């Protein structure tokens, strides 16, 4: 049986790769908005996919939340799901952030646009560092309905027994805007990431 837990060196290496990738994503967003994007240290953990809905409920209890979920896939078994969570008051301010006129774009279009900036830049930066190429599924937007969001997370857990979970936070100070990115790597793909991390460590 393959050991899906990360060694200390693998975890440190992944932490650094994530730092670089989210730095690129935040820099692109900062340049687009001409402001500063604050980042927190990402959290990395191996979890049972069954607890995802419960984890969501605990993190966003009593808050209206919108979600943009997008699958990604690469070479050599690399794949996963990128999920961006927006609290209601942040989602309502996206039009101003992106410079849209009133009624110019729907809420779904706004969420898709800003998520594209963060998701594709982050994953492209991560893929480049592990010498891989990433493709994407169409984004799925679920707005202001906790039941639908939990159902989506439950559907993920049906096929993923274990997942490597990476929590990332972006905060745009000038716009009082904040969103959370959750990167989920299913158990069968974790081994592919372990091999990529080992290749990098062996070159050091």
Mean pLDDT, to the nearest integer, of 5-16? 92
Which pLDDT belongs to residue 40? 82
Report pTM. 0.87
Which pLDDT belongs to residue 75? 92
Non-local CB neighbours of 170 within 8 Å, separated by 6+ positions = 22, 25, 26, 29, 37, 38, 39, 118, 178, 179, 180, 181
Instruction: Identify each DSSP E strand in 79-200 by its residue range.
Output: 79-87, 135-136, 140-142, 162-172, 177-186
Structural domains present in the chain = 8-203 (3.40.1550.10)
Name the percent of the chain in helix, strand, coil, to the closest 5: 50, 25, 25
Which pLDDT belongs to residue 160? 76
The answer on pLDDT for 56 being more than 70 is yes
Which pLDDT belongs to residue 147? 63
Residue 169 is encoded by which pair of tokens? 């936070």
pLDDT tens digits for range 79-126 = 999 999 988 777 777 877 777 887 788 888 888 988 888 899 999 999
Nearest CA among 101, 105, 70 for reference residue 84: 70
Q: Which residue carries 């990332």 as its tokens? A: 168
Mean pLDDT, to the nearest integer, of 67-81? 92
Which pLDDT belongs to residue 1? 46
What DSSP character marks residue 161?
S
Mean predicted lDDT score pLDDT of the chain = 84
- State the Cα–Cα distance between residues 130 and 195, nearest whole angstrom: 10
pLDDT tens digits for range 125-179 = 999 999 999 999 988 888 765 567 777 777 766 567 788 999 998 888 777 788 8
- State the Cα–Cα distance between residues 57 and 51, nearest whole angstrom: 10
For residues 57 and 46, which has the higher predicted lDDT (pLDDT)?
Answer: 46
């Amino acid at each position: 049986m393959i050991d899906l837990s990360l060694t200390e060196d693998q975890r440190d290496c992944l932490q650094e790769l994530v730092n670089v990738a989210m730095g690129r994503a935040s820099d692109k967003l900062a340049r687009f908005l001409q402001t500063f994007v604050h980042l927190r240290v990402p959290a990395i953990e191996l979890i049972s996919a069954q607890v995802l809905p419960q984890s969501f409920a605990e993190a966003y209890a009593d808050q209206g939340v919108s979600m943009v979920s997008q699958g990604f896939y690469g070479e050599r078994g690399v794949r996963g799901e990128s999920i961006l969570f927006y609290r209601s008051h942040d989602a309502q301010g996206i039009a101003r952030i992106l410079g849209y006129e009133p009624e110019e774009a729907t809420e779904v279009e706004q969420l898709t646009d800003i998520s594209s900036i963060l998701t594709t830049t982050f994953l492209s930066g991560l893929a480049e560092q592990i010498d891989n190429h990433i493709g994407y599924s169409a984004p799925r937007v679920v707005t202001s309905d906790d039941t639908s969001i939990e159902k989506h997370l439950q559907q993920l857990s049906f096929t993923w027994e274990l997942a490597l979970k990476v929590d990332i936070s972006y905060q745009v100070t000038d716009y009082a805007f904040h969103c959370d990115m959750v990167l989920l790597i299913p158990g069968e793909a974790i081994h592919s990431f372990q091999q990529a991390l080992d290749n990098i460590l062996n070159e050091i």
